[in-house]
Amino acid sequence: MYHLVCVNCGATYPADEILYNCTKCGHLLAVKYPLDSLNINKAVWDKRPLGVWRYKELLPVHGEPVTLQEGGTQMYHLKRLGEEMGIPHLYAKHEGMNPSGSFKDRGMTVGVSMALQLGKKSVACASTGNTSASLAVYAAKAGIPAVVLLPAGKVAVGKVAQALMHGAKVISIRGNFDRALEMVHDLCLSHGLYLLNSINPYRLEGQKTIGFEAVDQLGGVPDRFVLPVGNAGNISAVYKGLLELQELGFIDRLPMMTGIQAAGSSPVVRAVRENLPEVVPEMQPETVATAIRIGAPVNAEKALTAIRKTGGLAESVTDEEILRMQRDLARKEGIGVEPASAASVAGIRKLAEMGMIDRDERIVCVVTGHLLKDPDTVIKQCEPPTEIDANLPSLLSALHL
Ligand SMILES: *Cc1c(COP(=O)(O)O)cnc(C)c1O
Ligand SMILES: [Zn+2]
C-alpha cells in the first residue's frame, strides 16, 4: 500500500483521501510507495509490452485501468539534427504518438482510473488544450462526464476539436489558464468533481512512465532529460519516477533534468537563474507555444527540486527559435510536433551553442504533442499550396520543368 505525503512538511495522508494540497501547509502532495517491500521483478516488466501499464506495480491503480494502450511511444535518434548541432547522441521521445496526441494520456489513464477507484462520478480540469482533449477521451472511455475550462481564444483548434468531439462540456473563460485553474479547483472542492490537473498527485504517477520507458528503450540512463515546462508537472513526474528506479536499484544514477520554457512565459527559468527559493508568477505569459503559456506553474516547487538535485539546467527559447525547431524536426527528421514540443530540442540547440552542455552527452528530449494539434500555426509558417489549372503544362510550369 502507498500513501500521500506533503513535499514540504512531510505530513502523510491515506491514499483514499481526496486531497490536492497538504491541509497543514498548503503545499503539493506526492504518492509514496513502500519501495523495499514491493518486490518488483524487472524480468516480469521486460516481458510486458512497452507502455504505461508495464510498470503497474509502481502505479496506484488496483483493478482494471481505464486504458487506450497509452505510452510505448517511439524513441527516435535525431541523426541529422544531432550532426548539425555536434551532438551525436541526441534522441526525441515522441509523445505525440499517444492516443489523443500528447503525453497527457499517460496521466489521464491513471487519473481517470483513480477517479473511479475513489468513487468519483465526474471529472474536471482547466487546460491550455491537451489536458482537456485527453480528459475528454478518457472520460468517454470510462463513461463518466467531464467538464473542461479553457482560456478563450488561446487554445489550438485541434485540441478544442477533440474535447468537443469526445463529449466533454467545454467552457471558455475570458481569462488566462492560471485563472481557469483557480476556478476549476474551487468548483471541484465545492461540488465534488474530481480534479485532474497536474496538481493531482495520481496524474503525475502515469506521466513518470516516460522516464521508465526511456531507460528501457536506451538500455540505460541518459545523461540529460529535457522537457518543455508549462505547469512543470511532467518534469517533476519524470524525476520522481527515476528516483524510484534508483531506490529500487534498477538504475545507479539520475539524468540532469533540464527544463525549457518559452521566453514570454519563463518563471521557472528565472527562479533557477536567480536562485530564488520559489517562482515569482508572471502575470501576462505570452508565447506561440500555447501548451506552455503558463505564468504560475503549480508544480514549480517539485520542478525546482528536480532541476537542482540533478545538477540540471533551465533555459528559455524565443518563439522564433521554437518555430524554427518545429520546422527542422519536421523537415530534417520527419517528426511532426506542436510548437511547445519543439521547445525541448530548441533549448538543447541553444544550450549547446552557449557551451552549457557537453556535446558527448546522451540526451533525451521529450517532444510532447503532435503536429496536428495546432494546424493554424503550421499554415501560418508554410507557403500555401500552389493552385493550377487541371492540365499537364500548368503542372510542369508550376514545377519549373
Ligand atoms: C501539457 C504540455 C506541456 C507542459 O507540461 P507541464 O507538465 O505542464 O510542464 C508541454 N507540451 C505539451 C504539448 C503539453 O500538452
Ligand atoms: Zn505540508
Task: Name the residue of 102, 135, 181, 293 whose CB sits within 8 Å of the most ligand 1 atoms, as the mutation to test its pocket.
Answer: 102
pLDDT value, residue 371: 98
Does residue 245 lie in a domain region?
Answer: yes
Does residue 278 lie in a domain region?
Answer: yes
Specify whether the CB–CB gap between 256 and 221 falls below 8 A: no
Binding site per annotation, positions: 130, 230-234, 368
pLDDT value, residue 39: 86
Residues 11, 96, single domain; the answer is: no
Does residue 171 lie in a domain region?
Answer: no
Nearest by Cα to 250 from 261, 258, 242: 242
Range of the domain at 374: 75-101+203-381
pLDDT value, residue 1: 87
Instruction: Determine the residue type at 281.
Output: P
- pLDDT means per 10 residues in the chain (401 residues)? 96 96 97 94 96 98 97 98 98 98 98 98 97 98 98 95 98 95 96 96 98 98 98 98 97 98 98 96 95 95 98 98 98 98 98 98 98 97 96 98 96
Specify whether the CB–CB gap between 335 and 329 falls below 8 A: yes
**pLDDT tens digits, residue range 356-379?**
999 999 999 999 999 999 999 999
Does residue 240 lie in a domain region?
Answer: yes
- Domain count of the chain? 2
Nearest by Cα to 374 from 149, 188, 200, 129: 129
CA 299–ligand 2 middle distance (angstroms): 14
Cα–chain-centroid distance for residue 220? 22
The whole-angstrom separation of Cα 394 and Cα 136 is 46
Does residue 162 lie in a domain region?
Answer: no
> Which atom of ligand 1 approaches the CA of 231 most closely?
8
The whole-angstrom separation of Cα 65 and Cα 107 is 12
- Whichever domain contains 335, its CATH number is 3.40.50.1100
Task: Name the residue of 93, 130, 366 whose CB sits within 8 Å of the most ligand 1 atoms, as the mutation to test its pocket.
Answer: 130
Q: Which ligand is nearest to the CA of 10?
A: 2
Q: Which residues pair with 228 in a beta bridge?
A: 260
Residues 276, 331, single domain; the answer is: yes
Closest CA to ligand 1's atom 5: 230
Specify whether the CB–CB gap between 342 and 288 falls below 8 A: no
Specify whether the CB–CB gap between 144 and 122 falls below 8 A: yes
Residues 211, 306, single domain; the answer is: yes
Nearest by Cα to 249 from 31, 52, 36: 36
Residues 1, 96, single domain; the answer is: no
CA 340–ligand 1 middle distance (angstroms): 7
Specify whether the CB–CB gap between 236 and 289 falls below 8 A: no
Cα–chain-centroid distance for residue 322? 17
pTM summary value: 0.97
Residues 19, 92, single domain; the answer is: no
CA 302–ligand 2 middle distance (angstroms): 13
Residues 25, 80, single domain; the answer is: no
Does residue 88 lie in a domain region?
Answer: yes
Task: Name the residue of 205, 234, 370, 372 whose CB sits within 8 Å of the most ligand 1 atoms, as the mutation to test its pocket.
Answer: 234
For 56, 72, 107, 217, 256, the CA distances from 49, given in Å and listed in that order, are 12, 8, 18, 12, 27
Q: Which ligand is nearest to the CA of 162?
A: 1
Does residue 69 lie in a domain region?
Answer: no
pLDDT value, residue 66: 98
pLDDT value, residue 98: 98
Instruction: Determine the residue type at 344.
Output: S
Binding site per annotation, positions for pyridoxal 5'-phosphate: 130, 230-234, 368
CA 235–ligand 1 middle distance (angstroms): 9
Does residue 225 lie in a domain region?
Answer: yes
Residues in the chain: 401
**pLDDT tens digits, residue range 224-269?**
999 999 999 999 999 999 999 999 999 999 999 999 999 999 999 9
**pLDDT tens digits, residue range 108-155?**
999 999 999 999 999 999 999 999 999 999 999 999 999 999 999 999
Q: Which ligand is nearest to the CA of 23?
A: 2
pLDDT value, residue 289: 96
CA 391–ligand 1 middle distance (angstroms): 46
Tell me which residues have their CB closer than 6 angstroms to ligand 1: 102, 104, 130, 198, 228-234, 291-292, 338, 340-341, 368-369
> Which atom of ligand 1 approaches the CA of 232 most closely?
9
CA 359–ligand 1 middle distance (angstroms): 26
Q: Which residues in 199-234 are b (16+ Cβ under 10 Å) and which e?
A: bbbbbbbbbbbbbbbbbbbeeebbbbbbbbbbbbbb
Residues 347, 258, single domain; the answer is: yes
Residues 257, 331, single domain; the answer is: yes
Residues 358, 306, single domain; the answer is: yes
What's the longest Cα–Cα distance across the chain?
76
The whole-angstrom separation of Cα 57 and Cα 177 is 34
Q: What is the mean pLDDT of the chain?
A: 97
Q: Which three cell numbers stand for residue 370?
A: 503532435
Residues 240, 316, single domain; the answer is: yes
